[in-house]
Structure 1
């Protein structure tokens, strides 16, 4: 079988019954179920949500984005084999561990297929909550230019690249463009301070001021759970992004939950422990793919310079990457997923048809 056939590149054309446009992001597509189907599934499956809660099918793809572009490979390979299943398996593992340890629930209600989640609609907190345990990446670049304050937190002089920070750093940024918040520019993904959040908690979608403490607690506890588990595997949890939202359970209680994905190679940096101790950083996350791209093209400035965005888009559109590059990334994603979960990531022969059959036969969502 052609390897390209085992990649789910297009995930927004499934015949799932919906009355709304399919929302297609860089990697995931969301199909909002009809109110009738949502109510039926809640009753049939006994999900712990309000009887009228909107549900969605979330289908992950094997597409890979970097530097704000989607990349493709030779031979019609429009994604990374096994990437979607690896990401979902890792998130499922951490979400389950969070629940078992009494941290908080997630937006996921059901997992019909390795590439599919059934989720409930959450009211998102408009913050991308970033935790950093080491100084690297964009933070290191800013540090070398003399910056010492990050999101209102002072960090000391004398730090070296890839060094562990004196303490876990929370550096939140805005999720989407937020308007009318004093001192916060109206652009996506801009750094904010805890003082910004406290002064404008409702604008960030917190239900009350006390939930800022809860969000920080869940952030730190979630980070520590993943970091401790990865340490047992001699892997280093470097930094990550969390997202939160509110849902209402069957008893009518509002609760703050984890949403999106957690602790994955797409949302985090993970380093190999033995290599790090030998003075070498070996990435077990998407950062590896970014580095491969930077070394693959003659002029890496195209990828780094935001003023050259049109050139960058053309580069991604017109250049099929060698299959070897995508397979190297596949091995990284599948390898870290198998290490974390203890289970193999299987490649589907025909992922799209598998999803359609399961959603038709077991959930009645395909006509």
Structure 2
């Protein structure tokens, strides 16, 4: 079996029983279970959710996206070997730590396979919450142009690229397009201030003003938990994105939870500690792949210029990346997952067949 066969590239064609369209994102596909299957699993598996909760099977692929395109490699490589399993393993590790530290639950109820989660439907909070401990990336680019206010927060004048910030910075943006919020443009992913959230908490789908404080607490404490753990393996937690939602537990109590993924190389920047102390940034996150792409193509402007989207899509479609580049990205994802979890990453030789078998035999979700 070739390495390409071990990659799960297409994840929206599994024969999982569902009566709703399959939702397929850049990396994950979601199969909403029938009401009957949701009820049966809640009972059989003893999940701590409301008896009428909607459940889904979430399958992660090994596809890799960057600059809003999906990229492929030589030899029919439709993704990055081990990437999906690495992302899931890292998220699972952090979600478990959050629970152990008394922070909050996540949307994950069960992990049937390294690429699969059973999740409960959450009502998302319409905020993409970004925590920054260092000034880099898009924030540095804005700062270098003279910007000193970020999401309503004034920052110092004398900062240098990749420097640690005096304190953890929360720079939220909108998740989706919100209408009718004073002072907030009706576009996706636009920066907002804490005052915007407090004054319009209902528009952001928060239940109360007190939940603004709770979301910030979960944000900062979650960041600190991950940062402290990464420090133990000499890695630097630079910045990350968190998403939140509401679910109802078995007793009928509504609670705020973490959702999506946390602390992964896709949603965060993680730097190698020893290199950073020597004044060199080595990325253990997707940023490495972005940099490799910018170096690989003779005209990197196509990748960053929004006015050249058609050219960019063509570039991704017409160019298979070198096998060595795909392998480098694979080594980065698998390496950081194994460092974080302290275990060898579990990977399938034939992921699709393995997923079908476990969901059929142990969950009764495939006819």
Q: TM-score, normalized by length of structure 1? A: 1.00
Counterparts of 2:209 and 2:97 in 1: how far apart (Å)?
Answer: 27
Residue 355 of structure 2 is matched in structure 1 by: 355
Counterparts of 1:131 and 1:244 in 2: how far apart (Å)?
Answer: 14
Cα offsets for 1:292-341 (capped at 9, x unmatched): 00000000000010110110000000000011101100000000000000
Establish whether residue 295 from structure 1 lines up as the match of residue 295 from structure 2: yes
Residue 331 of structure 1 is matched in structure 2 by: 331
Cα offsets for 1:190-217 (capped at 9, x unmatched): 0000000011100000011100000000
Helix, strand or coil at the partner of 2:316: helix
Counterparts of 2:9 and 2:345 in 1: how far apart (Å)?
Answer: 17
Establish whether residue 160 from structure 1 lines up as the match of residue 160 from structure 2: yes
Residue 141 of structure 2 is matched in structure 1 by: 141
Residue 101 of structure 2 is matched in structure 1 by: 101
Counterparts of 1:355 and 1:52 in 2: how far apart (Å)?
Answer: 26
User: What is the CA distance between 1:348 and its match in structure 2?
Assistant: 1.2
Residue 320 of structure 2 is matched in structure 1 by: 320
Establish whether residue 73 from structure 1 lines up as the match of residue 58 from structure 2: no
Counterpart mapping for 1:252-331 below 5 A? 252-331=252-331
Helix, strand or coil at the partner of 2:16: coil
Counterparts of 2:302 and 2:345 in 1: how far apart (Å)?
Answer: 34
Counterparts of 1:99 and 1:110 in 2: how far apart (Å)?
Answer: 14
Counterpart mapping for 1:111-260 below 5 A? 111-260=111-260
Helix, strand or coil at the partner of 2:160: coil
Counterparts of 2:220 and 2:346 in 1: how far apart (Å)?
Answer: 32
User: What is the CA distance between 1:161 and its match in structure 2?
Assistant: 0.3
Helix, strand or coil at the partner of 2:320: coil
Compute the RMSD of aligned alpha carbons: 0.4
User: What is the CA distance between 1:50 and its match in structure 2?
Assistant: 0.4
Cα offsets for 1:65-104 (capped at 9, x unmatched): 0000000001110000000000000000000000001000
User: What is the CA distance between 1:117 and its match in structure 2?
Assistant: 0.2
Gaps of 5+ in 2: none
Counterparts of 1:232 and 1:58 in 2: how far apart (Å)?
Answer: 31
Helix, strand or coil at the partner of 1:76: coil
Residue 55 of structure 1 is matched in structure 2 by: 55
Helix, strand or coil at the partner of 2:75: helix
Establish whether residue 341 from structure 1 lines up as the match of residue 341 from structure 2: yes
CA contact (8 A) 2:17 2:366 kept: yes
Count of residues in Structure 1 that have an aligned counterpart in Structure 2: 367
Helix, strand or coil at the partner of 1:201: coil
| Segments of 4+ moved more than 4 angstroms | none
Gaps of 5+ in 1: none
User: What is the CA distance between 1:347 and its match in structure 2?
Assistant: 3.0
CA contact (8 A) 2:69 2:316 kept: yes
Counterparts of 1:345 and 1:63 in 2: how far apart (Å)?
Answer: 18
Helix, strand or coil at the partner of 1:251: coil
Cα offsets for 1:254-298 (capped at 9, x unmatched): 100000000000000000000000010000000000000000000
User: What is the CA distance between 1:346 and its match in structure 2?
Assistant: 3.3
Residue 41 of structure 1 is matched in structure 2 by: 41
Cα offsets for 1:129-166 (capped at 9, x unmatched): 00000000000000011000000000010100000001
Residue 17 of structure 1 is matched in structure 2 by: 17
Q: TM-score, normalized by length of structure 2? A: 1.00
